[in-house]
Amino acid sequence: MKLSVPFIPDPGYADFLAQHVSALASIYFPLDTETVMDARVRSAISSHADTGETDRLNALLKSLRPVDKYVLANTRFVHPDLYSNPVKTGAFLNRIAQMDDATGIKGIVVADAYLVNALDQTAHHIIPKLSIIPGVNSMIDSREKFLAWMDLIHGTRFKLPDRLIPDRSLNRDLNRLETLAREVRRTLPG
């Protein structure tokens, strides 16, 4: 069994993960942006998004190149301006594209369907390379919720997810988890 773990932009932690890369399935992390895009504590590496911060993050991620990397954009509450501001959505995708060139980015973890559509509408060149992973805040606990997300993603230029993060409530209901797992295996490639 391999682990999916959060990535913290700390050199010691990055070295630790690099020593255990064979045990990692994926890492996930937020980007330090003007607009809060993730549901985790903000990184202290920089107080704002800039090229230097992205370069520092890329340097830390280089030793983890074989590991799948996901950017967190999984907040359930996005400022409405982001949906209609192509400058902000474009800047977010530009950072992901820069990181993809340097270290490889597999996808974006999201919880907001409107954000998925807003990002897709930018027509950014990176979109067809990225998968959308509905995060735990998407609360996927049924076949219907899973299929609704797959329909949404299928209607965009993003790739379908190669993994799913089910709702925590299924930890206590293994029959429902098994039913959802069967649907996921039948629907998702690989």
Check residue 38 and give its pLDDT: 57
More confident residue, 49 or 3: 3
Domain ranges within the chain, ordered by starting residue: 3-187
Q: What is the mean pLDDT of residues 99-126?
A: 95
CA atoms within 13 A on the CB side of 18: 14
d(Cα 188, Cα 162) in Å, to the nearest integer? Answer: 7
Sheet with 107-110, side-by-side order of all strands: 3-6, 24-30, 68-73, 107-110, 131-134
- pTM value surpassing 0.85: yes
Mean pLDDT of the chain: 87
Within 10 A of 168 (CB to CB), how many other CB atoms are there? 10
Check residue 48 and give its pLDDT: 47
pLDDT above 90 covers a percentage of the chain that reads: 62
Quick one: CATH architecture of 3-187? Alpha-Beta Barrel (3.20)
Query: Residue 141's closest CA among 106, 98, 184?
Result: 184
Question: What is the three-class DSSP state of 112?
Answer: coil
Residue 44: partners with Cβ closer than 8 Å, 6 or more residues away:
none
Check residue 54 and give its pLDDT: 81
More confident residue, 184 or 124: 124
Confidence of residue 163 (pLDDT cuts 50, 70, 90): confident
pLDDT > 70? residue 136: yes
